[in-house]
Amino acid sequence: MSAFVPDIGIVIFAADQGHFLSRTILAVNRSVTMLTENGMTSSVTVVVRGSDEATATWLNEKCEHRIVHAGEASLGEARNLAVANVHGRHLAFIDGCDLWSANFPSAALLLAKKHRLRVVWRPAVSIGFPDNYFDGGLYSRRHIPGPDLLQPSSLLLANPYPSIFVAERQLLDSMPFPVEDVKRGWTAVDWWWCANLAGAGIHQIPVPDTIHYFRRQRNKQAPAEGRIGPTSLEKRRHSRTFPA
C-alpha cells in the first residue's frame, strides 16, 4: 500500500522561539483550514534544530503536529532534511516566529496547479510588526519583487525575498539548499539559494493578496553578517567575487 502524498506539505522550522511558536502554528492551522475548504490535502511537520529548553518544553506540551529532530544541523542541512522527510507534491516552508496570511498556501497552490511553471511562489508583501502594538517605529512594509522588477545580478548584493515560500517537490529535489561554510563566511543560506535559483533561470513570483509577517524587536542585536558562496550568477559576472 503506497503512502499518502498530500497536495502540500507544510514545514515549520523551530529553534529557540519558545512559546512564540504558538503564533506561527496558529497561522499555519488557519491556512490548513483554508486548504481543506478548497479541496486540497496537506500535512504539517515541525523541524527542530538546536532548540533551547523553553522551545523543547513548549513543543512537547503543546504541539500536535509531527516533529522531526534535526539536532545541531545547520539551517541549510535542516532545510534539505525537510525536503527528504516531508511528503507532499508541493512543500511550503515557514520559520518559527514568522506568520503568513491564511490564504497564502492555498493561493500559491492554485497558481502552481494552473500555470505548472517551474517557479518559487512567495507572499506579495512582507510586513514587520513589534510585540508592543504602540511601538510605531518598528512597523515596516516591503513589496516582494516579481521577475520583471528584479535584475538577477542584484542578488549578488542583497536578498529581497522572505524565507516563506511554496514550491514543487521536483524543484526542491533539483535545487537543494547550500550548506553553510562558516570558515569562509558563507552563512546566508536563503540568500545563497535565491542566487542559485536565478542562476538556474528559476523565477520567484509573488502571489497576489498574500502577506508574510515577521516579528521586529527593539534593541535586538543584529545577526552576524553573512555572505553567499559561489553561484552560477557569480561565475558569469564576477568570477573573483568570492575568494576561497
Of residues 235 and 209, more confidence is placed in 209
Domain positions in the chain: 8-237
DSSP label of 181: B
Distance of CA 127 to CAs 36, 99, 138, 144, 215, Å? 26, 10, 10, 11, 9
Distance CA 33, CA 25 (A): 12
pLDDT of residue 176: 97
pLDDT category of residue 244 using cuts at 50, 70 and 90: very low
Task: Return the closest-CA partner of residue 198 out of 124, 126, 240, 147.
Answer: 147
Distance CA 58, CA 52 (A): 10
pLDDT category of residue 57 using cuts at 50, 70 and 90: confident
Q: State the pTM of this model.
A: 0.91
pLDDT of residue 217: 79
Task: Return the closest-CA partner of residue 179 out of 49, 69, 78.
Answer: 78
Question: Can you name the CATH fold of 8-237?
Answer: Spore Coat Polysaccharide Biosynthesis Protein SpsA; Chain A (3.90.550)
